[in-house]
Amino acid sequence: MKASVVPLPAPSLYALFEGLPEEVLEQALTHSSWTDDRARSYERLEFLGDSVLGLAVAWALHERFPGSEEGRLAKLKAFVVSRRSCGVVARRLRLDELVLARASGTREQRQELAGSVTSLGNVLEALIGAAYLSLGFDIVRDAVVEAFADRIAYGLSSYVDYKSTLQEHVALSGLAAEYRLLQTDGPPHARAFTSEVLVAGSAAGRGIGRSIKKSEQRAAHAALVGMGVLAAPSATSAKPSASAPNVASPGSAS
């Protein structure tokens, strides 16, 4: 009997960066002000990495939300790959430590680069571009999606209208989502509403909020988690916003 092969987990993005050839890593960590030839700085790799990052995130959103329209996916992608998001992920990956330990600049130059969130975001994109050239898209794509998973979750919790997302999802099967108010608790100045969403006549999720609208948003979010469309919120992920708008401008959040 042939033994089944269990696939190995994808390497982390930081591990991919650490394993880059030394000359490639050096260029990805070189600021343009450190060299007389800007083409030898990280700028060309940053240019490439920006597109690789965008494609990886676009692929992940396309696969994860088959019923979502292009405009909504585009706005969510714009947030996930924004300069602010790149800076957040760069800090979390401790790229400042990589710059301090492996970059070729003087001590002062390395400290200045490591201390700038914006510059670290540029370095992150340069490293993604370098990893793509060295390892190919498939390996880098999976590592990028894993590294940006929290930013995707944050974008969903802050910008996505869960009721619309749920309706788009169930519509793929010719179904519709219906909401009903189950109960109202508390005094007039501090009401708590409990709503339930039904799909094909069966309860799919329940939520509590300070307004009926918020309780329905939370019920829709619970349904999406139960259906496996959204991941269950982790201790480190942002909590879903019950009053989330229908995808706001990506530049308005951190």
Q: Residues with catalytic annotation?
A: 50, 125
Rounded alpha-carbon distances, angstroms, from residue 186 to 181, 192, 242: 15, 6, 19
Rounded alpha-carbon distances, angstroms, from residue 130 to 24, 43, 82, 99, 110: 7, 11, 19, 15, 19
Helix (H) and strand (E) counts in the chain? 12, 3
By 3-state DSSP, what share of the chain in percent is helix, strand and coil, each rounded to 5?
60, 10, 30
CB-based contact 143:53 (threshold 8 Å) = no
Q: Which of these, 227, 230, 215, lies nearest to 179 by C-alpha position?
A: 215
Structure tokens at 89: 């992920």
The CB density around residue 203, as the number of other CB atoms within 10 Å, is 15
